[in-house]
Amino acid sequence: MTAFHTSNVSVDTPDTKTPVYWPVIIFIVAVLVLWGKHAQWALWYLGNYQEYSVSDWLINYEGGFVRRGLLGQLLWEAYQMFPFDVRKFVLSLPFAFSPLLLALLLRIFYKEKWSPVVLLSYCCFGATFLSSSIRRDYLMLIMVYAIFLMASRWNSSCRKVYFYGTFLLSTIAILCYEPIVFIIIPVFFFATKERLLVWLLIPVILVIFLSKGSAETAQAIWQSWESLFKNYPFPSDANDSMGLGVQALGWEIVPTALFHLDMAYAGLEPSIMSIPLILYMLAGVYYLITHLNVAVLPFWKIRNFSARVLSNVLIFHTIAMLPMLTFLSCDWGRNITFICVSTFFTIHFFPDIADRFPQIDRLTHRLLTKMDCCRIFNSPYLYTFIAFTIPVPISEAPRLEDSILGTFILLLYS
């Protein structure tokens, strides 16, 4: 058996005589304590309207057609019919959508018989759950699940109802959050039987990306919520100043791209550690995903799995998301989460897609062969250590405190 093939089997092989559970159990207990501590904090935390986590949801069509305005328009219409505290509603959404997303992921991991420990890691779930700046991530990932489910049924049955359903859901998703294009379009291009769906979505994509908005549009959108600000004031609010989520509609393209590049790779406080931590973060994400069955649990049956498939699709999604990892966004944690979760969704619904990337497959072969040369990569101790210490910041360049261990220490002593 070659070194490359050794990567494609689960840990209960001759390479590991007896499964080791306790480091993984410690990791799970620590993360659950951390989630409980953060949930306790999140229940009393109420951000103001200016914060991105709230103001991003206020983008609507009242000042003109702009990107990601559909959810804000629905929220605005609901508020007109029955005024309610939109700020509290938005900040409560993670408590509604995060359990649903976790349930969908656990369902996939149960069917595929993958170890679910990676779901508790920062790179897959915690990076967004343990943040106060969650926007529409969970909802969009749930929509990706629904879109891929519909597309896979169309792919297998060729029934037109699934084709139209996929197109409709994709259009709604793009209207809600335009970067979703970098997840669904590449998968549609490589995984579906015909590319008609991609061509039909191109006009939708062009309209959305060209409808950036302007400073005047942003001002009109912000003013459309004046009755909300008066009905539900916040002590620290000064709502004559526009929230960042809405204000971004008026930003110029080039300065915004340079801002994202600076924030993503230099950070607010440039440090010699930035680049090494970025490399550690990316390498750690790759390791946690491709070796997820190293972290075994006594109550969860796992089976032989293909590290090659996981590697190919993970690299594929990373390449597809490069615009969001560079000049279109500085949200490392959110984008990494989108990449990892989309990888699991893609493999579950389109298992043959990993065979469509011969160039990526050659890279995967080299990476996994080199990793197979070191037995330490099949150690649950290393897996747990990386899961604890991998830094995945929501934005800016990574720091050591942007890890589960770092967040755990900060929350315990805050």
Phi, psi of 320 (to 5 degrees): -65, -30
Spatial CA neighbour of 193 closest among 227, 226, 224, 153: 153
If you write DSSP's letter for every residue of 84-134 in order, what string do you get? --HHHHHHHHHHHHHHHHHHHHHHHHHHHT--GGGGGSIIIIIHHHT-S--
Handedness of CA 230, 232, 235, 237 (dihedral sign): negative
Rounded to whole angstroms, the Cα distance separating 149 from 335 reads: 22
Q: Which residue has the higher pLDDT, 193 or 7?
A: 193
The pLDDT of residue 14 is 37
Q: Is a pLDDT exceeding 90 seen at residue 199?
A: yes
The pLDDT of residue 52 is 87
Name residue 123's amino acid: C
H or E segment at 175? helix 160-176
Rounded to whole angstroms, the Cα distance separating 225 from 229 reads: 7
Rounded to whole angstroms, the Cα distance separating 303 from 299 reads: 13
Q: Is a pLDDT exceeding 60 seen at residue 228?
A: yes
**Is the distance from CB of 381 to CB of 23 less than 8 angstroms?**
yes
**Is the distance from CB of 367 to CB of 311 less than 8 angstroms?**
yes
Which segment of 6-10, 366-370, 405-409 scores lowest on mean pLDDT?
6-10
DSSP structure class, residue 327: T
Which segment of 22-26, 104-108, 382-386, 406-410 scores lowest on mean pLDDT?
406-410
The stretch 30-37 carries a mean pLDDT of 84
Give the confidence band of 76 by pLDDT, cuts at 50, 70, 90: very high
CA dist list (Å): 82 to 49, 75, 86, 122, 286: 19, 10, 11, 38, 47
The pLDDT of residue 408 is 81
Spatial CA neighbour of 377 closest among 2, 11, 1: 11
pLDDT digits (tens, 9 = 90+) for 243-275: 999 999 999 999 999 999 888 887 766 566 677
The pLDDT of residue 27 is 93
Q: Is a pLDDT exceeding 60 seen at residue 17?
A: no
The stretch 354-365 carries a mean pLDDT of 96
Spatial CA neighbour of 395 closest among 94, 139, 51: 51
Give the confidence band of 201 by pLDDT, cuts at 50, 70, 90: very high
User: Tokens at residue 21, please?
Assistant: 């559970």
Rounded to whole angstroms, the Cα distance separating 257 from 378 reads: 40
Q: Is a pLDDT exceeding 80 seen at residue 5?
A: no
Give the confidence band of 8 by pLDDT, cuts at 50, 70, 90: very low
The pLDDT of residue 1 is 35
**Is the distance from CB of 323 to CB of 185 less than 8 angstroms?**
no
Mean pLDDT, the chain, whole residue set: 88
The pLDDT of residue 130 is 60
Q: How far is CA 263 from the centre of its chain?
A: 18
The pLDDT of residue 129 is 63
